[in-house]
Amino acid sequence: MKLNSRNLITVIFISFGSCRTVKPYQRAYLNDNAMQINKKNIDKLSSDMHSYKEGASGGGRGKSSGGCGCN
The binding site for other proteins (CB under 8 A) comprises 12, 15-16, 18-22, 24, 26-30, 32-37, 40-42, 44-46, 49-50, 52-61, 64-68, 70-71
Q: How far is the CB of 2 from other proteins (least distance, A)?
A: 14
Q: How far is the CB of 29 from other proteins (least distance, A)?
A: 5
Measured between alpha carbons, how far is 17 from 38 in angstroms, rounded to an integer? 24
Measured between alpha carbons, how far is 51 from 64 in angstroms, rounded to an integer? 7
Count CB-CB contacts under 10 A for residue 51: 19
The candidate with the shortest Cα–Cα distance to 62, out of 71, 34, 52, is 52
Q: How far is the CB of 14 from other proteins (least distance, A)?
A: 10
